[in-house]
Amino acid sequence: MPAILPPPTSPLGPEQAALLERRVSIVVASRDAQRRPHLMRALGCRLCADGRCMTLLLPLRGAAQVLEDLRSNGAIAAVFSEPTTNRSLQLKGDDAQVLPATAEDETLAAEHLERFVAEIGELGFPASVAQTILCAEGGIAAVRFSVREAYEQTPGPRAGVRLGDGG
């Protein structure tokens, strides 16, 4: 397995890192050889300590095409959005790797579900909605990538602005 070479610095500041720790909705996009995009909701995320590397958890059931795309070309985009505030962030990378989920990943997904139930519960949605959309019953896979680019995605005048160093 080739080593992941993270970018020299992360485009994420403390504010973005904090958002990724919050009770966010996460959707991952890939694309196939014909440049047709595919997407699926992720069950949790973990930003590494230096902010340069992101791990996402995807359900095996429903994410087959996305995982296949990532295995074949590594191009990935993920949007993180906090339902109660609409604060959103998009991360991109080109070196995504699909890895087997660890016990730690399983725990993370279970915790994320619990916290997400509370998040959308504030908007009036019953727990069953979160339990359905974050269902991990068919097993999960981990996807790790280097955070190459980050974009502000909160609706408003700054939406689409690229964050951090890369320009």
Partner 1 sequence: MAAATVRLDAIRACLEGTVPGVMATCAPDGTPNVTVISQVEYVDAGHVALSFQFFSKTRRNVLANPVTELLVVHPLHGATYRIAARYLRTDTDGPVFERMKAKLAGIASHEGMADVFRLRGADIYEVESVEQVAAPRHDTLPASPNRLSALRRAALRVAAATDLDGLFEALLDALAQDFGIGHAMLLLLEAGGGRLYTVASRGYGRSGAGAEVALGDGVIGTAARMNTPIRINHATLEYRYARTMREGVAEALVGREIPLPGLADPGSQLAVPLACGGRLMGVLYAESPQELRFDWDDEDALLALATQAAAQLGALAGGGAADDAAEPVPPASAAAPAPAAAPPLRVCHYAADDSVFLDDDYLIKGVAGAVLWKLLRDHATSGRTDFSNRELRLAPDIRLPEVGDNLEARLVLLTRRLTDRQAAVQLQKTGRGRFRLCVTRPLRLSHVPR
Can you give the binding site for partner 1, defined by CB under 8 A? 25, 27-31, 34-41, 59, 61-62, 64, 73, 75-79, 81, 86, 88, 90, 92, 94, 125-126, 128-133, 135, 151, 153, 155-157, 159-160
Q: How far is the CB of 48 from partner 1 (least distance, A)?
A: 21
Cα–Cα dist 57/104, whole Å: 11
What kind and span of H or E run contains 17? helix 14-21
Q: How far is the CB of 41 from partner 1 (least distance, A)?
A: 7
Cα–Cα dist 114/143, whole Å: 21
By beta-carbon proximity to partner 1, the closer residue of 12 and 136 is 136
Q: How far is the CB of 140 from partner 1 (least distance, A)?
A: 13
84: how many CB neighbours lie within 10 A of its CB?
12
DSSP category for residue 52: S
